[in-house]
Chains A and B, each alone.
Chain A
Amino acid sequence: MTLIEASEKPDRRPGRERRIVVYLIVVAVLVALPVVARELGISFLSSPKLLPIALFIVLALGLNVVVGFAGLLDLGYAAFFAIGAYTVGLLTSPSSLLPYHEMNFWVAMVIAAVVAGIFGVILGAPTLRLRGDYLAIVTLGFGEIVPLVIKNTPEVTHGVLGIAPIGLPEIDLFGFQYRWGIESTPWYYLVLIVGALSVFLTARLRDARIGRAWAAMREDEVAAASMGVNLVNTKLFAFALGASFSGFAGAIWAGYLQQISPEQFDFSVSIFVLCMIILGGIGNIWGVVLGGAILGGFDRILAEVINNSIRSLATATGSEFLAELDVVKAKGFILGISLVVLMNLRPEGLFPSGRRKAELHAGDESGVQEHQAKETLFDKADT
């Protein structure tokens, strides 16, 4: 490969046209899915099932910026989800205790993302010097504190009672009017739009100046600083951006459920989202999407489907053992076992980024031998 070819070929992805076709097919399938499911009566693919999965994928994409790109292990990610949801709740709910609370949903959603981003910086600032395990502990604490604060400040948040109802979004574009309501398919489409934007924007950032700075910082902070990367700004931006994705997701979640309360945002949410990233392949956007789809799909759909088939098998065979089995109750157990097995067989996740794969399989690369022949190149460069 000549130098110019190399410099013009920034990545190993397939050609642009092919990629666009693949994207369009994926989008078409996702758009058609709930409609087709409804027509065919496949209840487990209906939009109330798909929506939480799609929303969790948005969360995973945001956390991927923090953990996958910038290498900052964040175990308190659900806190920003809560902050986004409560910001929208407080700004739009008729029952809100704020003096002004009849805000337009879209405006509130943007404010929710900004507020979550600000809290990302507030969490990030004191943890700048921390790495790895220590950072994980602080973020874990933050994730615990936020729901606790919500619970214990009923004069603002209604405490454990939560906030309900939440304001609804509506559009009025060129005479086309629509107001989101109980029907869940439009909410699903809203999440799809936000998810597609998340994929698009994080991919662009990864390939840009900031993405290289994140990768460099993740590899070696001292070297990154010595090459001119401002560690403070670069870290804080990762925290703020990841948090604002979560804030967006929280806003939609609140609008969809119409009821939010602190226990929806506990530690298990943070861990579940982190598991999606790890399963899919840290740092790889499509890996994260697929990891989210697999875990979310298991959690919301597959476990129940399996359970139902076991039930019908039990009645058919009269087996008492099968009748006792409950896959839904054992979800956590199955998830845990699968993760342990996966981490042993494929620590880089199912669909890793090339870089992560390289990291975790040090030593078994074939590139070394090729380079023996280049040993003399330096002398050529001299002449």
Chain B
Amino acid sequence: MVYGQTQHVVMGAAYGAGASRRVVAQLTVTAEWAELRDAAGMVLARAPRNLLQFDAPIGTAPRKVTFPDGALFETSDHAGFVGVTGQTRGAVLHQYEAFGPRLIGVVLACALAAWAIWRYGLDILAAIAIAATPPALVAQMDRGTLQVIDTTMAEDSILTAADRAKVEAVFTKLTAALPEDVRAAQEFALLFRNMPGLGPNAFALPGGTMVMTDDFVKEFPDPNIIAGVLGHEMGHVVDQHGLYRLYRSLGSAVLIAFLAGDVGPILDDIVLEGNVLLSLSHSRAQEREADEFGLRLAAAAGYDPAGLAVFFQRIGEENGADEGMEWLSTHPLSQDRLQRIEEFIKTLPQDQ
């Protein structure tokens, strides 16, 4: 071995392959060869330098290098180790992790990137997932969900044929008023169910199946209200809110499980609840989007868009003045929502 001016030897401890027997040892490295000797100078291992496996440095934990035969050398002499081996794999990462002002930039980058993922990244991922979901599967998901609803909480509708016909007429006019491309891409079906537990309600499944409860038809026979609410539900379908929500919640559950890892006792619950609160705000944004779609569609089909406002006003009165706090709700508060709806109606073209 050739020794130069600089230090090529570092002291530490050596282990045989897979064994805990530990001896004081010194590691010598030249450009081509590496050699491990014990205190008596006996060679423990010798190998070409390029066959050594250097563990990436991490903090100030002991550095390790493994010989091809499994012999392990470790040392806490970091400067000495680097002096012998030169820069090894992981050195750059190690440098970036060093505690210092630069980490403030990393913290800011983290915050910015987390915000960008929550605001855009999850939606982009969800959009890719939605594009990859075959329409036949979405239709099947509708059938599956309906099956569950029918067996657990819905009974056959007890509406008269005349009552249904009235709602169906509104539904037909609305679908006819949909933009050409939307009508070509998306089918809609309207179903009636008697769901006493749900009160006056209507909802849409991702594939375009819409369900209206008997109580709704009885309580809100006004075609303008029916148009506003059906339009709102169609908005959920057209903008694929159901699928977005499914994929977003899957995505954020996975990200939290794998990113947050073990944050420790109590704190992990806080992280999970924070995620739920954030997803609620997303759900409120979807409601607003669907409102605007419904208002536009109802107006285009020749109905008074104020019908939706009347609906929320009545619902708001029934719930009483105190609605609780918005950030704890999946839907916007009726008061704010009404105001928003009225403002949006003013922006619609007045051609009726």
Q: Do A and B bind each other?
A: no
Q: Footprint of B on A, CB under 8 Å? A: none
